[in-house]
Amino acid sequence: MKVNPTKTVNELVTILPYIIDIDEKKKIYHSWRVAIISALCARNSVSHQQLKYIFYSALLHDIGGVGFPIHIIHYLKRTDKTSRNVLLSHPIIGAQLISNIPRLNPAAQLILDHHEWINGMGYPRAKLKRNIPYGSQIIRISDTIDILLQIGRVNNLKKLKNKMSADIGREYTKELFTRTFKALQKKSLFSKISLARNVETIFKEVHDEVGLLYIPLKIDAIGKTLEVVAQIIDMKHPFTSGHSLRVSRYAMAIALAMGLPHDEVTQIRWAGLIHDIGKLNVSRRLLDKPTPLNRREYKEIQQHAAQTYKIMNLITTLYEITPIAAAHHERYDGTGYPFGLKERQIPVGARILAICDAFDAMTSNRPYRRPLTFKEACTEIKNLAGKQFDPEVTEHAIPLLRNLGF
């Protein structure tokens, strides 16, 4: 299986913030706008390699806030103490996550400091100007610009400049302020990115200019990046902490026990890590509901499988794992979703994931029910063989799950 790690990792870190920046079904493009402004502000003042790190750091700067009850942009709009306390952790969490992606450690360092102010009144470490990386300062001012745009307090460049000039010498330097507004003025950039319909086109142009971060072939960059994506997916719903990693681990063991080829085992492991990526588009209100879902809510939750298919199709290099990841809720008897596949129409990897996903759900705690023991869960899976689960896969899975659960 030949997959280009450079293209794959770059696609993943580009698409992830695009997905996360959907607030109650509305695309808000916060991270993409911040990346656009940061890149155009930095491009004539840093090396091209530094420009890449600033661009990708700006793209991922709010990734640590995925687990917040509401989208991070709502906290950034507020000035109350509670909102500030909630926000304090997200640069640290984001930096920790991104540092696990090969070759992105410099980006993680910029993410850690992107809420520092030059006067020492920022967070999380209250650093002064001389200790704040220039890239972090650029992301800070770019982030502020989009927050003001998002909350509708400015509708033209003159008003934005007047409002932000009050924080020169506090949040950012005069030199950076001047440079940033020069970039916003050029070719009417601010007017263009103020309209959501223009953002995707402008982002593609800037992304093409910045280029891809090179990822060496010799490291398992794709697997490590997908593990980070799995953590981000599970952060959105506290009761699924570690779920994607466990499903991937169970699925790989079953695939090995079935004697599947190495490349297929790898595909199944990767698919397990991101099988729930569609949940990033599901309302937090539903994911965190402390009581059982009603019929309408359950139907809405079911859409995550179709969303997984849609999102995975954006990652062109992982097309082989898309049918596996998206079909983990198909049933052997044909009554599953999203495609209503049955028996051998369902990829073997998806038939494996279906068992692993159900096993982990049954043995995990939920606010409205106690978890089953591993023995109880295995009995339940065995009883559903031929209906929900593939009988052959079940035979291989049960002996492993009895022990792997520990």
Q: What are phi and psi of 26, to 5 degrees?
A: -110, 130
Q: What is the reported pLDDT for 24?
A: 64
pLDDT in tens, 66-83: 888 778 887 776 766 767
Same domain, 35 and 180: yes
Same domain, 53 and 96: yes
> b or e along 33-54 (b: 16 or more beta carbons within 10 Å of the residue's beta carbon)?
bbbbbbbbbbbeebeeebbbbb
Domains: count for the chain: 2
Residue 221 in domain: no
Residue 85 in domain: yes
Among the candidates 210, 228, 254, a domain finishes at 210
Residue 198 in domain: yes
Same domain, 246 and 384: yes
Q: Distance between CA 110 and CA 399 in Å, rounded?
A: 47
Strand locations in 190-268 (E): none
Among the candidates 210, 245, 279, a domain finishes at 210
Residue 283 in domain: yes
Same domain, 279 and 370: yes
Residue 152 in domain: yes
pLDDT band at 165 (very low <50, low <70, confident <90, very high): very high
CATH of the domain at 153: 1.10.3210.10
Size (the chain), residues: 406
Same domain, 110 and 255: no
Residue 405 confidence (pLDDT) above 70:
no
Same domain, 19 and 126: yes
pLDDT band at 159 (very low <50, low <70, confident <90, very high): very high
Count helices and strands (H / E) in the chain: 21, 2
Same domain, 189 and 276: no
Name residue 27's beta-bridge partners.
22
Residue 216 in domain: no
Contacts 24+ apart (CB under 8 A), 143-147: 143/34, 143/61, 143/76, 143/114, 143/115, 144/171, 144/172, 145/37, 145/180, 145/184, 146/30, 146/33, 146/34, 146/37, 147/73, 147/76, 147/77
Same domain, 240 and 146: no
Same domain, 148 and 269: no
Q: Where are the alpha helices (DSSP H) in 122-220?
A: 134-150, 157-164, 174-185, 189-193, 196-210
Residue 368 confidence (pLDDT) above 70:
no
Residue 220 in domain: no
Name residue 119's beta-bridge partners.
128
Residue 330, classed as helix, strand or coil, is: coil
Crossing angle of helices 105-112 and 134-150, in 10° steps, is 60
Crossing angle of helices 243-257 and 348-362, in 10° steps, is 130
Asked whether the beta carbons of 115 and 123 are under 8 A apart, the reply is yes
Host domain of residue 310:
236-404
Asked whether the beta carbons of 293 and 301 are under 8 A apart, the reply is yes
Residue 189 in domain: yes
pLDDT in tens, 305-348: 999 999 999 999 999 999 999 999 999 999 999 999 999 999 99
Same domain, 314 and 169: no
Asked whether the beta carbons of 19 and 277 are under 8 A apart, the reply is yes
* Whole-prediction pTM: 0.92
